[in-house]
Chains A and B, each alone.
Chain A
Amino acid sequence: MALNAEESGRFAAVLTDGAEKVTQRWTEAVAGSLRGRLSQAELRRQIEELHRALLTVGEQGPLDLDAEHAAELRAVLGELSRDRARQGFSATETAISVFALKDVLLEVLEARGGEGTLRDYVAFSGLIDQMGLFTFESYVRTRESLIADQAEQLLELSTPVVKLWEGVVAVPLVGTLDSARAQVVMERLLQTLVDTSSPYAIIDITGVPAVDTQVAQHILKTVVAARLMGADCIISGIRPQIAQTIVALGIEFGDIATKASLADALRHVLRLTGVETARRPRRES
C-alpha cells in the first residue's frame, strides 16, 4: 500500500522529529524480542540504516515500496533479512525488526495528538506491513538457497570413490540412491577408473536401506558403463533381507559378481588379479 504525498510528508515528519528518540525506541523494541542474541551496537546500526533509507525514499517521492526510488530501501530490507536468516534467527524474529516500528509510531502519534491521528496510523501501518512481508519473502528466499546449497554439498559428500588396492576402486553407497545421486556416482566412478587406470570397481550397497527396481536399474547402468570402459564391477554389501527382496522383485543381476561384504569382494578381486592373500604364521618374538 503506497502512501500519498501528504501522508508521506507526515510520515517523514514523524520520523525526523526526534529521530534520535525514534531509533532509540525502535532498537529497544526489537532488542526485547531478540533476547540479546545480536549486539546492541549492530542492531542500532541496522535500525539507523533502515530509518535513513525510509527518510531518503520520503524525500524523493511518495513512500511506496514498489517505486523505483525505493530501491535502496528494498536493498536495506533484503540485507537485513539475509543477515538474520544466516545467523539462524526465526522468521518472526526477522519480521519483528520491521513491525516494531508500528509501536514506536503509535507512541509518537499519540504524543502529538490532533486530527487524523488514526487515519495516519492506519496508512503508515499499511506501508510497514508491506515492508514486513517483503522482509519475510527475502528471508524465505535466503533460507531456500541455504537448503539448496546444503543439498548440493550433501550430494558431493555422500559419494566418495576410494582406491582400495592397486587397480581396485570402491564406491561405498550410503542412503537413498535417486537419479541425481546415481548420476553423480556414475560420473565419479568412471572418471576415477580412468584416472587410476583401475580394471576393477566395487560398488558397496551396505548403506542403502532398500533396493527397489529404480536403485537396481541405476546400479546396473553404472556397471554396464564401467564394463564399456573395460572395467569389471563387483557389487558388495548384499544383506540377507536385500537378497530376499531382490529375488521376490525378480531383478536379475545376470553375470555380475555379487558378494555379501566388501571384504569378500576385495578378496575376490585380489584372487582374480593373482595377489596371494595367505595368513602369515605368527612369528615368535
Chain B
Amino acid sequence: MTAGIDLGQPQVQAIRSDEDVVRVRQLVRTAAVAAKLSLVDQTKVVTAASELARNTLVYGGGGSVEVATVDNGLRRGVRIVFADSGPGIADLELAFTDGYTTGSGLGLGLSGARRLVDEFAIDTGADRGTRVTVVKWAR
C-alpha cells in the first residue's frame, strides 16, 4: 500500500455508539477539506467512512478509527484505519458481494465503500479482529 508520509498527528476516535459514527464522519470531512479534496471526493470518502464505521460498530462490536492526512509526494489524501477486535470476516469474497449481508442492512456497505475510495486494504481473522485501511487521494 502506497500510504505516503503522514502530515501531522493522526486523529483517533473510539467507535462505541451511533453518535461516534457521526463524529467519525465529521473528523473525516475535516481531514478531507484539509487535504483539499473536491466536494464530490469529500462526500465519497465521508460516506465510505460512515459505512465502515458502522460496520465496525455493528459487526465488530465497536473499535477505533484513526484519521490522517497523508502526502505521497505528488498528491495529498486522507487515510482512515478502522480497527476492531470482533469475530472477523469468515468469507471475504462473500462479504464483498453486493447485496449480501448477515445483518439487516442493504448489503452494500463494504463493497460500496471499496468503490468509493482509491485504496482499500482489509486484514481480518477470527483471532485478530478486522482492520480496514482506506485512502482517498486528491485529484
Interface residues of chain A, those whose CB is within 8 Å of chain B, are: 176, 178-179, 209-214, 216-217, 240-242, 244-245, 248-251
Contact = CB atoms under 8 A, between A and B. Distances in A.
B111 A250 contact: yes
A134 B115 CA distance: 53
B25 interface: yes
A251 B46 CA distance: 16
A249 B25 contact: no
Nearest to B111: A250
A241 B115 contact: no
Interface in B65-97: none
A182 to B, nearest CB: 12
B40 interface: yes
A240 B40 CA distance: 8
B123 interface: no
5 contacts: A210-B47, A213-B108, A241-B40, A244-B44, A245-B116
B20 to A, nearest CB: 12
Given A213-B112, A214-B54, 9 more contacts: A209-B25, A209-B43, A212-B50, A212-B109, A213-B109, A241-B43, A249-B51, A249-B112, A250-B115
Interface of B: 18, 22, 25, 29, 39-40, 42-44, 46-47, 50-51, 54, 98, 105-106, 108-109, 111-113, 115-116
Contact of B47 (A178, A211, A240): A211
B108 A178 contact: no
Contacts of A212: 47, 50-51, 54, 109
Chain A contact residues: over half helix, strand or loop, or mixed? Answer: helix
A240 B42 CA distance: 12
A257 B32 CA distance: 32
B96 to A, nearest CB: 12
Nearest to B43: A241
A209 B46 contact: yes
Nearest to A251: B108
Contacts of A209: 25, 29, 43, 46
A210 B46 contact: yes
- Chain B CB count within 10 A is highest, among A179, A214, A242, A244, for A214
Given A211-B47, A250-B115, A241 B109 contact: no
B49 to A, nearest CB: 9
A210 B50 contact: yes
Contacts of B46: 209-210
Contacts of A249: 47, 51, 108, 112-113, 115-116
Contacts of A176: 22
B47 A250 contact: no
B115 A248 contact: yes
Given A210-B50, A250-B111, A250-B112, A242 B43 contact: yes
A65 B109 CA distance: 54
A245 B22 contact: no
Nearest to B50: A212
A213 B106 contact: yes
A210 B43 CA distance: 6
B47 A245 contact: yes
A250 B98 contact: yes
B44 A250 contact: no
A245 B18 CA distance: 21
- Considering the complex of A and B, which 7 residue pairs feature the smallest CB-CB distances, nearest first? A249-B112, A241-B43, A212-B50, A241-B40, A248-B115, A213-B106, A245-B47
A245 B46 CA distance: 10
Contacts of B54: 212, 214
Nearest to A247: B115
A216 B51 CA distance: 12
Nearest to A217: B106
Contacts of B109: 212-213
A241 B98 contact: no
A14 to B, nearest CB: 48
A248 B39 contact: no
